[in-house]
């Protein structure tokens, strides 16, 4: 069971609790409206993962991340944001955050993010990851730069390859499930298996590796 602490505005917390209520292996153990109250309440709640909004009334997200991990180094932090520059996202990960998702990320991807972070993996939501990837490729169009990394060949099943291509098209978990006539949980399982097989940390890294190997147009 993964114990989760929410720190966000009241409406956003209610939405998160409603989403997580359908996940038997995820449990909300506490919540707060601002960073200043988080440390004392979090210690008492003994949470595993904190869903941390980047902007709060008393303590900004990056400062909160540093403060929490200085006191609770084993804590996993998943940052929730409305937007963010590449530099700010980099600073959050350097400070020790495990994941970064936009607040309008669809529910199923947020659940995947929480589970990945709880397992000790880093996670960057697909919307942000694809945006950063497009900027990087625009600045470095040379195929030799990508090929120099020499990633290991992907060994995916037919269904995993289908899901990889749908991910690259920007489809959500729900849309992929409908297109493939399967359940959202099955799609999430395949997606996680693909990340583990390819040893990539998020969708953007996965797609970049697939492009380098010629698996995507």
CATH number of 56's domain: 3.40.50.2300
Mean pLDDT across the chain: 80
User: Within a domain: residue 178?
Assistant: yes
My answer on whether 124 and 145 are in the same domain is no
Query: Going residue by residue through the chain (217 aa), what tens digit of pLDDT does each one get?
Result: 999 999 888 888 898 999 899 899 999 998 887 655 566 777 767 889 999 887 664 567 788 888 888 888 889 999 988 877 778 888 889 999 999 998 877 788 889 999 999 999 999 888 777 666 666 666 655 554 444 444 455 677 888 888 888 888 888 888 888 988 888 888 888 888 888 888 887 877 787 777 776 676 5
Coil, strand or helix at 86: helix
Residues 96 and 41 reside in one and the same domain:
yes
Same domain, 118 and 154: no
| Rg from Cα positions in the chain | 18
Helix residue ranges, H only, 46-125? 61-71, 86-95, 107-118
Q: 198: domain range?
A: 136-212
pLDDT in tens, 35-55: 555 667 777 678 899 998 876
Same domain, 174 and 194: yes
Whether residue 29 lies inside any domain: the answer is yes
Statement to judge: residues 140 and 118 lie in one domain: no
* CA 78 distance to own-chain centroid: 7
Query: Which has the closest alpha carbon to 123: 27, 196, 30, 177?
Result: 196
In this structure, what CATH number is given to the domain that contains residue 146?
A: 1.10.10.10
**Tally of domains in the chain:** 2
- How far apart CA 187 and CA 107 sit, in angstroms, is 14
Element (H, E) at 173: helix 173-180
Same domain, 140 and 67: no
Task: Write down which residue in 129, 152, 179 finishes a domain.
Answer: 129
Helix or strand run (H / E) with residue 119:
none
| Residue ending a domain, choose from 97, 129, 161 | 129
**Statement to judge: residues 26 and 121 lie in one domain:** yes
């Amino acid at each position: 069971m993964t114990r989760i602490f929410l720190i966000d505005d009241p409406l956003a917390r209610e939405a998160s609790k409603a989403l997580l209520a359908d996940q038997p292996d995820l449990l909300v153990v506490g919540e707060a409206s601002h960073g200043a109250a988080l440390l004392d309440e979090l210690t008492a709640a003994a949470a595993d993962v904190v869903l941390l909004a980047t902007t709060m009334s008393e303590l900004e997200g990056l400062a909160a991340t540093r403060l929490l991990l200085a006191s609770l180094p084993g804590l996993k932090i998943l940052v929730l944001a409305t937007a963010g520059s590449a530099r700010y996202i980099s600073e959050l990960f350097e400070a020790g955050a495990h994941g970064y998702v936009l607040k309008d990320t669809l529910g199923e991807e947020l659940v995947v993010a929480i589970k990945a972070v709880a397992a000790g993996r880093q996670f960057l939501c697909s919307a942000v990851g694809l945006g950063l990837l497009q900027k990087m490729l625009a600045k470095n169009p040379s195929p030799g730069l990508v090929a120099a990394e020499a990633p290991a060949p992907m060994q995916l099943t037919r269904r995993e390859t289908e899901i990889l291509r749908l991910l690259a098209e920007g489809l959500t978990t729900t849309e992929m499930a409908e297109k493939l006539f399967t359940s959202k949980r099955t799609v999430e399982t395949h997606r996680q298996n693909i990340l583990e097989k390819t040893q990539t940390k998020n969708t953007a890294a996965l797609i970049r590796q697939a492009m380098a190997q010629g698996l995507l147009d």
